[in-house]
Structure 1
Amino acid sequence: MTQLHHTGRPADTATRTPGTDPLTLVVGVHLVLADDGAVLLGRRRNTSYAAGLWHLPAGHMERGEPVTRSMTREAEEELGIAIAEDGLELIHTLHHLDADDGRSRLQLFFRSDRYEGTVRNAEPHKCEELRWWPLDRLPADIVPYTAHALGEIARGNPLSTIGWPA
């Protein structure tokens, strides 16, 4: 029998069966700003992931913040706009197995029809340019999981997976 530490966790995790530990996910947040059949994408630059490719305004959750704050923070940092947390709508969840590093990632895609400010490239050191792209003519050089998610959103699918063995 495993002895419990005062925290309620097993004192010796080396005796645990592989695969029984809770999964630690990287959680990404993505903003889908759509206007008249077009979506806002930014061309990434000076980044360790997908430099030169088009991607939605996005980022990762930080420790200690709720997912809605993560999304509004990223909108402020990248686009210079303010979005109320209660103005966000979760429109798609993507469970993504990253082929580059083998990590499991939960990608959350939000929409907001209301924001304050003017959309601008607030991080030119990380984003070469912002551009509105017709949803039916996305660029060829787009982050693959972004294209996948936008297609699923267009089909009305709230959940998808990508990168997992069949």
Structure 2
Amino acid sequence: MTITADHIRTTIATYLDEHPEDKRELGVVLDLLNDGGDDLTSRKNLPGHVTAGAILVGPDGRILNVLHNATQKWLLPGGHLEASDGTLLQAAGRELAEETGIPPHVVTPHGETPLHIDIHPIEANPAKDEPAHQHFDFRFLFRTTAGIGELQTEEVSDAAWRDIDTLSDERLKQRVAQVLR
């Protein structure tokens, strides 16, 4: 079952009920959805498309980060949607399991609403014939007591538990801290 524009729209509406201060920032995504014709679930969609990410909190309150091969940056696990994803939450969980090797049965989602929706630029990638574009990243919080599994070395080269203070986005840092209180 593929993620639909209606599912994305409903997820944004639920998110904005909890975080109305983000409405202006999400205007670009809502405008693209309202314009209709484009499939925001396809990585070929430009000027941007939806991705799903995971904020995985370990038993000690630290956040799992992965060293992404393409960017050589420490990031939260996540990535592009696939046709088999039924919801954005499922996509985030799938990406988390794929990249970190942590099996889904030892991971618990905090809820069905993203904790954060981030819009960020992606540089052009001539090797993939991709121009610069944006990712509309729906980030869900998960908890686990498990350790890091076998990494997906095609995409990530390392993983580490890091303190919440290492999150660069202040809004995300505040929201994670609020959940952990």
Is the contact between residue 87 and residue 112 of structure 1 (CA under 8 Å) also seen in structure 2? yes
Matching residue of 2:143: 113
Question: Gaps spanning 5+ residues in structure 2: where?
Answer: 1-31, 41-48, 125-130, 177-181
| Contact 1:121 1:129 (C-alpha < 8 Å) held by counterparts | no
Match of 1:135 in 2: 164
Name the residue aligned to 2:90. Answer: 69
Q: In 1, Cα distance between the equivalents of 2:154 and 2:73?
A: 15
* CA–CA separation in structure 1 for the residues paired with 2:89 and 2:79: 12
Give the Å deviation of 1:78.
1.2
Q: Given the superposition, is the C-alpha separation of residues 88 and 54 from structure 1 closer, same or farther in structure 2, using an over 3 Å criterion?
A: same
Structure index of larger Rg? 1
Query: In the alignment, which residue of structure 2 is the partner of 1:96?
Result: 120
Q: Provide closer, same or farther for how the CA distance between residues 81 and 24 of structure 1 changes in structure 2, counting only shifts above 3 A.
A: same
Pairing 1:87–2:109 present:
yes
Per-residue deviation, 1:57: 0.9
What is aligned with 1:156? 175
Between Structure 1 and Structure 2, the one with more helix by share is 2
Aligned-residue offset at 1:24: 4.1
**Residues 80 and 135 from structure 1, CA distance in 2 versus in 1: closer, same or farther, beyond 3 angstroms?**
same
Q: Which amino acid aligns with 1:28?
A: T
Alignment-derived partner of residue 39 in structure 1 = 63
TM-score, normalised with respect to structure 2: 0.55
Identity %: 19
Deviation at 1:38, TM superposition (A): 2.4
Structure 1 counterpart of 2:97, one-letter code = E
Partner SS state of residue 67, structure 2: strand
RMSD: 3.0
Identify if the C-alpha distance between structure 1 residues 155 and 88 changes in structure 2 by more than 3 Å, giving closer, same or farther.
Answer: closer
- For residue 81 of structure 1, give the secondary structure of its aligned residue in structure 2: coil
Q: Do the aligned partners of 2:53 and 2:96 also contact (CA within 8 Å) in 1?
A: no
Gaps of 5+ in 1: 1-18, 139-145, 158-166
Q: Distance in 2 between matches of 1:81 and 1:105?
A: 24
**Structure 2 residue aligned with 1:123:** 152
Among 26, 32, 53, which residue is 1:30 paired with? 53
**Given the two structures, how large is their TM-score scaled by the length of structure 1?**
0.59
Q: State the one-letter code of the partner of 1:55.
A: L
